[in-house]
Homo-oligomer: A and B are copies of this chain.
């Protein structure tokens, strides 16, 4: 049913999407909860696609590095899914959408310290706790994973962002200590948060991110080097989780509008997966009230309609 994409048409579509982006530059606002993010010029836009043959297309600031923030939660989870048994992970974190806007901590108390899924902050911190306790040199492993997936040895942590996050750790520390009070989080809270914030502070471009997650569109195999990142059934499971839980409290709306597995970050990036075809990454710093990039969401809608990709029919 899916014809091979015409490279010229695809590039033209990306260029058009990038050209349209500035019409949304008035909407939303840049994340300001840490100074290092608040300083980012608000009106940039980038986009990149990596297809399952490994071909990359990009437009706008597609090559410019941004702070991937919560997109790092997927990298952390992939490491956990690669190296640990299912029970080591899924007895300590759930796989259900989180539901309420105010729920991070409410739900965590009602459900006795077990976070709903690995993509809300509490769940991502818990995954980090698992990594810290199980994997040696985990900071190094995390950075290597990002570099290898993206095929870019220059990817690095933005130390200033990581430090700024730690200086404003209060809410995440509250979540972490609550999980520790329930005995679910086992490590030292500051150590766990340090790794978590370093992941958030990874600086990657749209091209990097699209390449890094292209394996999710390719049944778990990286189109860059042919290596198996995840077994096919785990790959499908991760896509399912991204579809139901990837955009916080707007996951349902994203599924409704875009219909793809995806993950957003407050740095303005969003990655989306078209199974069997491609990964897409967009970036634009202004966020809506759910913390998702305004221009990024619009671009994805346009792109999905333009490409006619629709795994849900």
Contact = CB atoms under 8 A, between A and B. Distances in A.
A259 B241 contact: no
A110 interface: yes
B181 A174 contact: yes
Task: Say whether chain A's binding surface is mostly helix, strand, loop, or mixed.
Answer: helix
A99 B102 contact: no
A1 interface: yes
A97 B259 contact: no
A98 interface: yes
Interface string A234-248: 011101110111000
B313 A275 contact: yes
A178 B109 CA distance: 13
A219 B117 CA distance: 31
A310 interface: yes
B310 A96 contact: no
Interface in A165-216: 169-171, 173-178, 180-181, 189, 216
Interface stretch (A42-50, A62-70, A138-146, A250-258): A250-258
The residue among A98, A104, A105, A312 with the most chain B CB atoms within 10 A of its own CB is: A312
Contacts of A102: 109-110
Interface residues of A, number: 61
B95 A98 contact: no
A219 B100 contact: no
Interface of A: 1-2, 94-100, 102-107, 109-110, 116-117, 169-171, 173-178, 180-181, 189, 216-219, 232, 235-237, 239-241, 243-245, 249-253, 255-256, 259, 261, 273, 275-276, 310-313
Contacts of A174: 173-178, 180-181
Contacts of A241: 252, 255-256
A162 to B, nearest CB: 19
A71 to B, nearest CB: 18
A252 B178 CA distance: 24
The residue among A174, A177, A251 with the most chain B CB atoms within 10 A of its own CB is: A174
A30 B236 CA distance: 32
A105 B244 contact: no
A173 B181 CA distance: 9
Contacts of A259: 236-237, 239-240
